[in-house]
Amino acid sequence: MYLGIPVCTCNKLWSLRGMWLSPIELRRIRSIVGLLKYLFCLASRALKKLSLEDSDVEDLGGEWLHALARYNSTLEELHFGVLGIGDIDIADLFTLAEKCKSLVSLKVGEIEMLDMVDVLSRTPYLEELGTGSFNYLGDEDDDAAAPIPLPKHLKSLSGMWSLMDVGLPTILPVAANLRKLDLKYTLLSCEGHTLLLSHCHSLEDLQTRNTLGDEGMETLGKYCKGLQRLRVEDDETGAITQRGLVAVALGCGDLVQLIVFVASISNASLAMIGQGCPRLTDFRVVLENNARPGIDPPDFPLDDGLKLMLKSCVHLNRLAFYVRHGGLTDKGMEYIGAYGQNIRWLLLGCAGQSDVGLANLAYRCQRIRRLEMRDCPFGEAGLAAAVASMSSLKYLWVHGHRAMDSAGKELVKLARPCLTVEVCPPPPGQPGLHLFAYYSLAGPRTDGPPELRIFTSNSTPATSNA
């Protein structure tokens, strides 16, 4: 079983000392000192998996890792890659690697790769590695450093902080076997992406930034035919356009998830995504706010392209379409309602023209459970009518709502049993209001700021601390 503890204390952990827990997942830990007694009583047993992800930890000297290395010999997975833990003794990691012959997954954060050489030499069966800072390479022109040998059976690789093109000789020997690759923290150029990805014939899951460029997307389409998940985050150093989208659509027909920031997009590229990737269940595209010199402007409106994509991707259940004003008209909203009837999560940005478009979407998309809208021109009455008609809706978030009536009269219509509606002023310098609507058996919260207005069933507007 897995053990998830929101706030870790010694007493809570010690009270569980009699349980036989082989995999342990501790999330949102506030103090790692509280782990010591628990690790002492478990380390000599069959502890196989330890994950401390998503925690904000105050590490007082790394004693917990020393205890684990001393007592455990059965560990298969060790994850503390995002904790920012300091004072880790590499000797403890080496001891763990030497004793735990079955170790297959290791995520230990931003540790200099040179310090990991001996550890990695003792993990011949490692399949998942998340570690490694390549700062030691220094300047891009420094090609004197010898490549660091990685375990030959690696299937997943992440971390690689500050990896530049000059460090690729360390990665290329294992690239052919990689199924999952996370390049978000690297400093690879477009050319570096192209070189690496041309060796990744088994790749199924890629996360990177749009430094990848259209050339990198074309490389994916040519060499990574089995790619199933692609996530490209925003970065000012690169740009992806309809050219890259078309290349991936033509070459990666097994895609089930495509998340990408683009500098330009066309109806034809959207239609090609639908034609080439009919298995998509998760499609999210964000168009950059401002046009870039030398890049063709987007093909507005994108209604027809989105329609063709939705008609082909019948399994789509997550859709984010964040464009610019004019990119999606009321007709496009109607198409989402008509052909996106399996969508359960929907995010729209700068979409639609009026309440009519929102109504046409809402009346037909009856499976939507979560709806998020940013900078869309819908009025308060239109929102109320849409929410009332969406029988499955559990959560609504509206960012930058400009049409809010001062009394919130229409919002009261949203306040069905167990539904709480919150209206909050935006941060300084941002237009519009923020609106949240969510179902909660516990009722409205009481810890919001004084300016927060809350609506519940048969209620009048009230502040959160009233």
Within-domain flag for 284: yes
Within-domain flag for 175: no
The pLDDT of residue 38 is: 53
Residues 281, 316 contacting (CB under 8 angstroms): yes
Rounded to 5°, angle at Cα 315 from 438 and 181: 90
Within-domain flag for 105: no
Residues 341, 362 contacting (CB under 8 angstroms): no
Residues 365, 335 contacting (CB under 8 angstroms): no
- First CA to last CA across the chain, in angstroms? 43
Q: Quote the DSSP letter at residue 149.
A: P
Cα–Cα distance for residue pair 458/152, rounded to 1 Å = 64
- Give the chain's domain count: 1
Q: pTM, whole model, 2 decimals?
A: 0.89
Within-domain flag for 414: no
Cα–Cα distance for residue pair 266/122, rounded to 1 Å = 51
> By CB neighbour count within 10 A (0-12 exposed, 13-18 middle, 19+ buried), where does 304 fall?
middle
Within-domain flag for 287: yes
Cα–Cα distance for residue pair 61/41, rounded to 1 Å = 20
Within-domain flag for 233: yes
Cα–Cα distance for residue pair 309/431, rounded to 1 Å = 33
Within-domain flag for 374: no
Paired strand residues for 342? none
Backbone dihedral region for residue 352 (phi beyond 0: left; psi -120 to 50: alpha; all else: beta) = left
Helices 267-276 & 242-251 angle (0-180, nearest 10) = 10
Tens-digit pLDDT profile for the chain (466 aa)? 333 434 344 444 434 444 445 565 555 555 555 455 455 445 445 678 888 776 655 655 567 788 788 888 888 999 887 655 666 789 999 999 999 999 999 998 888 899 999 999 999 999 999 988 898 776 544 444 678 999 999 999 999 999 999 999 999 999 999 999 999 999 999 999 999 999 999 999 999 999 999 999 999 999 999 999 999 999 888 899 999 999 999 999 999 999 999 999 999 999 999 999 999 999 999 999 888 888 999 999 999 999 999 999 999 999 999 999 999 999 999 999 999 999 999 999 999 999 999 999 999 999 999 999 999 999 888 888 898 889 899 999 998 876 555 445 666 666 667 788 888 887 777 777 888 888 888 888 888 888 888 887 655 555 555 4
Range of the domain at 238: 204-316
Residues 114, 137 contacting (CB under 8 angstroms): no
> Which H or E element spans position 423?
strand 419-424
Within-domain flag for 275: yes
